[in-house]
Chains A and B, each alone.
Chain A
Amino acid sequence: MNFKEFIKDWRVILLIVLVVGSIGAISTYGISQGLDLRGGSTIQIHLAEPVDASTMSTVTAVLDKRLNAFGVTDVTVRASGNQDVIVQIAGVKPEDVANIVGTPGKFEAKIDNQTVLVGSDITTVKPYTVTGNNWEVPFTVSSAGANKFAQIAQGKAGTPVDMYLDGNLISSPAVGADLANGVPSTDVQVSGTNQTKTAAEQEAKSLQVVLQSGALPVSVSIVGVNAVSAELGSQFKNGALIAGILALLVIAVIVFIRYRTPVLVIPIIITSLAELVLILGVASVIHWTIDLPAIAGILAAIGTGVDDQIIITDEVLKKGVATKRTATALKFKINNAFFIIFASAATLIAAMLPLAYVGITRGVTGIGVLSGFAFTTIIGILIGIFLTRPVYAKFIELLLGKDRKEEKATVRDTRTSKPSKKGKKKKGKKGRKKT
């Protein structure tokens, strides 16, 4: 075939440039991987009622502060709509997740079942101290809170102060003698003892975090957790890679059985790999996160790509009326193939749009995760129909140019012949190219 002409085609050049560019982009920017591939957790928190934007920002700020207090660094807290918050934490083991955000609620302190303090009374929380097995958490409360506390705590030294989070008792330190004298004090501290120094430290730390986050203006609950360990994430990645390679091998074998020639197997595999690189390149440039649903989307796009290449190949190899001038006939056949390709791409994109829409309105939890699948499929299909498939068609077109001379003699006679078992035999019979 005329390789020189192939390499000079503008779309071929564009494809090569973009593939090289994609590889460059991937190696420069990298590909941001979803938490399901690198290990981490996604937690969906639901608020008791819809809130306005400023309340929502208080909620996310408080949650963020709490997570940071626990020493979690790689964390994002963001609002999803006006009633949901999504927390994403990288590199934390699944069992640690609930310890960190497991009690995201509303703070209340009670003495003898009377509420003495609520979350919004607490103004600042100071660093805790641990001496031996004893711990102390000092904090300041508003003067209103201090008055209320002083009133109820008067004469009740030694009575437990029950601290609740979302109605669950989390700590019951006793009222200190200095707070039971009826004089309001804005400087308060909670202290306690635990069996070991580590345990004491832990208790102090968790109480501190609870006090800090007590200022949540609305009660919240965890409605969804999705956590994957880093080991499992990398197993997923390797598994997807192996499955992808196997799938491609199976396709290669089937294409070979059908056409009996490596000349067609190789370009189909190369085209599929080029599509993969281009999709990942786009993902790298626009910082699109590749997670498991996105991998499924890539597989779907490449799968339809293989289908389309088979359509192009068969359309061009197929026998037909030989009276038309061959160069136009070939163009005509390729146009036929592209009618089918554009039509099926349009229907698939139409089918994917509702999913993409769900993702925009819903965020990336629940069924919203499928929007990643939908977007990746759509990107893959667009790359395919505008770039890789035309190049493949050009390749097939030029491939026929070579065979034409050898089989020129058999040009007519196709109308009555039985369908050939092997499409390849018929190839080139009328595939004349211009020039």
Chain B
Amino acid sequence: MSMTDKILDSYKPLIIIPVIITLIALALFATNGLQQGIDLKGGSVAVLQLQQPVTTDQMTNIVQNATGVQGITVTSSSANQMTLEIPGQAADVVTLSNAIAGTATIQSFESVGPLLSSKALSQVYFALAFAFLFMSITVFIIFRNLVPSLAVIAAALCDIIIAVGGMSLFGIPLSVATVGALLMLIGYSVDTDILLTTRVLKRREGSINERALDAMKTGFTMAAAAIGSMVALYLSVRFLMPYAQILEQIAAVLIIGLIADVLATWLMNLGILRWYMEGRR
């Protein structure tokens, strides 16, 4: 029996690894909570084109004095650009533009009042819950088999929870864009899970270990391609257009979730499948 076979045969204790990480992510989320993007909590974000060098402190002072709003934060700044977040009520773009006249001009301005944001938050939960429900139903229809379907759904749930835990850890806000990323994660996650389940369950040739290794090779290539392209997106936003934070956040959420997916698919989903097949024998 080769080394890989030995590892593959001791699948039961390995299931626990993604479970523990998921629990840690849940604990992180429960204690640390999630930041919310301004589209969900209300407030304003302005991207400013600087006309003269100004420190972040100077800029927050200027805007604070003009708007009377406390807690203004600079979320990104480069030599000639700065992104400001102004909490609370939708800020008045005229007051802001007058306050910074001569120092900077407004390149982009997004403001969401509390009325809009309270509606948006409930719709975010609605969209996530139904996306997950529809995905689960489709998986059941495809496999018509309780345990393998549950394994796929559990893996997707782990991915999302770990990604949310990562968002809590790294301060990535829950926003319309990151919700989109979490939903994209459902898609990426079930890809590899369906591949694994189909290969291991439906195929006849080769030993279970061989089929699992085969699926793993394909799955790792898929994960590498997806993670690699998201890292490319993350880095190009980071260095080429720091004001496009939304794209950076989408990429970051997907990178965390895709790494979680590698663990959830190949340690947990595969483990549950093997356990199930052993029990059936």
Residue positions of A touching B, CB distance < 8 A:
44, 46, 93-95, 97-99, 102, 221-229, 231-232, 235-236, 239-240, 242-243, 246-251, 253-255, 258, 292-293, 296, 299-300, 303-304, 306-307, 310-311, 314-315, 318-321, 336, 339-340, 343-344, 346-348, 350-355, 358, 362, 365-367, 369-370, 373, 377, 415, 418-419, 423
CB within 8 Å for A347 and B190 given contacts A94-B93, A227-B110: yes
CB within 8 Å for A351 and B187 given contacts A222-B90, A225-B90: yes
The interface centre, meaning the residue of A240, A255, A300, A367 with most chain B CB atoms within 10 A of its CB, is: A367
Bound-state CA distance A350–B156 (Å) is 14
Report the nearest B residue to A233, measured CB to CB. Answer: B108
Query: Which residues of B lie under 8 Å from residue A377 when comparing CB positions?
Result: 184, 187
In the complex, how many angstroms separate the beta carbon of A144 from the nearest chain B beta carbon? 34
Structural contact, B94 and A351, CB atoms closer than 8 A: no
Residue pairs across A and B with Cβ atoms less than 8 A apart, 7 shown, are: A225-B93, A232-B108, A251-B229, A304-B187, A347-B190, A348-B190, A354-B131
Across chains A and B, the number of contacting residue pairs, with CB separation under 8 Å, is 251
Bound-state CA distance A224–B204 (Å) is 58
In the complex, how many angstroms separate the beta carbon of A195 from the nearest chain B beta carbon? 18
Query: Which residues of A lie under 8 Å from residue B119 when comparing CB positions?
Result: 366
Q: Does B255 contact A (CB under 8 A)?
A: no
Q: Does B57 contact A (CB under 8 A)?
A: no
Structural contact, B225 and A307, CB atoms closer than 8 A: yes
Interface of B is mostly: helix
Query: Which residues of B lie under 8 Å from residue A247 when comparing CB positions?
Result: 228-230, 232-233
Structural contact, B206 and A415, CB atoms closer than 8 A: yes
Residues of B in contact with A, size category: 35 or more
CB within 8 Å for A307 and B226 given contacts A223-B116, A367-B176: yes
Bound-state CA distance A223–B221 (Å) is 46
Structural contact, A228 and B107, CB atoms closer than 8 A: yes
Bound-state CA distance A370–B177 (Å) is 8
- A310's partner among B49, B214, B218 (CB-CB below 8 A) is B218
3 smallest beta-carbon distances between A and B, as pairs: A247-B229, A95-B97, A354-B130
In the complex, how many angstroms separate the beta carbon of A349 from the nearest chain B beta carbon? 8
Interface string of B75-107 (1 = CB under 8 A from A): 000000000000000101110110000000111
Structural contact, B92 and A320, CB atoms closer than 8 A: no
Structural contact, B187 and A344, CB atoms closer than 8 A: yes
Query: Which residues of B lie under 8 Å from residue A367 when comparing CB positions?
Result: 39, 120, 123-124, 127, 176, 179
- A358's partner among B115, B126, B204, B246 (CB-CB below 8 A) is B126
- B142's partner among A300, A343, A365, A373 (CB-CB below 8 A) is A343
- B187's partner among A292, A310, A348, A415 (CB-CB below 8 A) is A348
Given contacts A242-B240, A293-B180, A344-B187, 11 further A-B contacts (CB under 8 A): A93-B106, A95-B97, A98-B93, A227-B93, A228-B107, A231-B49, A243-B233, A292-B246, A315-B218, A367-B127, A370-B180
Query: Which residues of B lie under 8 Å from residue A98 when comparing CB positions?
Result: 92-94
In the complex, how many angstroms separate the beta carbon of B117 from the nearest chain A beta carbon? 8
Bound-state CA distance A232–B83 (Å) is 13
> Which residues of chain B in 199-238 are interfacial with respect to chain A, using CB atoms and an 8 Å cutoff?
202-206, 210, 213-214, 217-218, 221-222, 224-226, 228-233, 235-237
Q: Does B195 contact A (CB under 8 A)?
A: yes
Structural contact, B194 and A314, CB atoms closer than 8 A: no
Bound-state CA distance A419–B235 (Å) is 35
Query: Which residues of B lie under 8 Å from residue A365 when comparing CB positions?
Result: 116
- A226's partner among B110, B138, B194, B226 (CB-CB below 8 A) is B110
Query: Which residues of A lie under 8 Å from residue B142 when comparing CB positions?
Result: 343, 346-347
Structural contact, B126 and A354, CB atoms closer than 8 A: yes
CB within 8 Å for A254 and B225 given contacts A102-B92, A228-B108, A243-B232: yes
Interface string of B56-72 (1 = CB under 8 A from A): 00000000000000000
Structural contact, A243 and B90, CB atoms closer than 8 A: no
Query: Which residues of B lie under 8 Å from residue A319 when comparing CB positions?
Result: 206
In the complex, how many angstroms separate the beta carbon of B255 from the nearest chain A beta carbon? 12
In the complex, how many angstroms separate the beta carbon of B221 from the nearest chain A beta carbon? 5
Structural contact, B225 and A310, CB atoms closer than 8 A: yes
In the complex, how many angstroms separate the beta carbon of B128 from the nearest chain A beta carbon? 8
Q: Does B186 contact A (CB under 8 A)?
A: yes
Structural contact, A232 and B176, CB atoms closer than 8 A: no
Query: Which residues of A lie under 8 Å from residue B180 when comparing CB positions?
Result: 293, 296, 355, 370, 373
Structural contact, B108 and A310, CB atoms closer than 8 A: no
Structural contact, B93 and A224, CB atoms closer than 8 A: no
In the complex, how many angstroms separate the beta carbon of B239 from the nearest chain A beta carbon? 10
Q: Does B172 contact A (CB under 8 A)?
A: no
> Which residues of chain B in 228-263 are interfacial with respect to chain A, using CB atoms and an 8 Å cutoff?
228-233, 235-237, 240-241, 243-244, 246-247, 250
CB within 8 Å for A419 and B108 given contacts A99-B94, A367-B179: no
Q: Does B183 contact A (CB under 8 A)?
A: yes
Structural contact, A366 and B112, CB atoms closer than 8 A: yes
In the complex, how many angstroms separate the beta carbon of B254 from the nearest chain A beta carbon? 9
Structural contact, B123 and A239, CB atoms closer than 8 A: no
Report the nearest B residue to A314, measured CB to CB. Answer: B218
Structural contact, A320 and B206, CB atoms closer than 8 A: yes
Report the nearest B residue to A36, measured CB to CB. Answer: B108
Structural contact, B131 and A352, CB atoms closer than 8 A: yes
- A347's partner among B97, B139, B235 (CB-CB below 8 A) is B139
Query: Which residues of A lie under 8 Å from residue B231 when comparing CB positions?
Result: 250
Q: Does B2 contact A (CB under 8 A)?
A: yes
Query: Which residues of B lie under 8 Å from residue A222 when comparing CB positions?
Result: 90, 113
Q: Does B26 contact A (CB under 8 A)?
A: no
Structural contact, B186 and A351, CB atoms closer than 8 A: yes
Structural contact, B94 and A300, CB atoms closer than 8 A: no
In the complex, how many angstroms separate the beta carbon of A251 from the nearest chain B beta carbon? 5
Query: Which residues of A lie under 8 Å from residue B184 when comparing CB positions?
Result: 296, 300, 377
Q: Does B154 contact A (CB under 8 A)?
A: no
Structural contact, A311 and B131, CB atoms closer than 8 A: no
Query: Which residues of B lie under 8 Å from residue A235 when comparing CB positions?
Result: 241
- A318's partner among B177, B202, B214, B226 (CB-CB below 8 A) is B214
Bound-state CA distance A365–B206 (Å) is 53
CB within 8 Å for A243 and B236 given contacts A223-B113, A314-B218, A355-B131: yes
Bound-state CA distance A348–B189 (Å) is 10
Q: Does B266 contact A (CB under 8 A)?
A: no
